[in-house]
Amino acid sequence: MFPIRDTIPHRRPPLAMWGIILLNGLVFFLELSLPPAELERLFRMAGVVPARLAEPFLVGNPVLFLQRLPAYLTLLTCMFLHGGWFHFISNMWALWIFGDNVEDRMGSVRFVAFYVLTGIIASIVHVLMDPTSTVPVVGASGAISGVMGAYMLFFPTSRVVTLVPVWIFPFFFEVPAAVFMLVWFLIQLQSGLWSLVAPELVGGVAWWAHVGGFVAGLALCKFFQLPTGYCRRCELDEGVWESAWT
């Protein structure tokens, strides 16, 4: 499933969302300028490598945490790296569709804090589910999963135009946001479970980071929402059914 658009326009300029997309874009074009060996080195240095983070606890000596503190900075830096054009564009497209409305509800500063926190939680969940992996994980999808979880809670009746490819034919469906998010989450959860028993079938994607980020977004979004006195009034298209085609 690939989201094309939703029914809710933003009511205020989403400055934080634009800033996050711009920063990701600048880092991605820096990646494109690097030779393959240097790019691999960057991913190893700034991406999340579960074995490097989990080793102090696996060997039973959590005190080593203090000696390995720089490695934990990768929980933040990994959010601004991407593994290719499709990875970058799909992540930024999802953030573009859902992030502006969530920022409307939170305000720019709270939105940035929420985005970073859910992204870090997503990476931690990935480390916990595969602590011995030496493959670096990069991408903003954990944080964007958190944004999608918040969107589901804030705007369940919004409509999302969704592209579903069947063989080589594109089909477009309009579905409620709550349905889109739930189906998307179940796909991530199912793929995550498959990765535990048959990783060769669903490898290459940090499914548990998506699951962790989404659940974190659901659980934490209300704490970041602007107080009632500062939050704008909900418009009609945020509380009732409305076609995305009109």
Those residues whose C-beta lies under 8 Å from the C-beta of residue 66, and which sit 6 or more positions away, are: none
Residue 198 one-letter amino acid: A
Ordered DSSP codes for 43-96:
HHHHSB-HHHHHHHHHTT-TTHHHHTHHHHTHHHHGGG--SSHHHHHHHHHHHH
Residue 126 near residue 192, CB atoms below 8 Å = no
Place of tokens 């535990």: 196
pLDDT of residue 170: 85
Q: Where are the domains of the chain?
A: 2-228
- Which architecture characterizes domain 2-228 according to CATH? Up-down Bundle (1.20)
d(CA 186, CA 176): 16
d(CA 140, CA 71): 18
pLDDT of residue 55: 72
* DSSP-derived 3-state class of residue 166: strand
Q: Average pLDDT for consecutive 10-residue bins of the chain (246 residues)?
A: 88 94 96 93 90 70 53 90 94 96 95 97 93 90 97 94 85 91 95 82 82 97 82 55 52
pLDDT of residue 92: 97
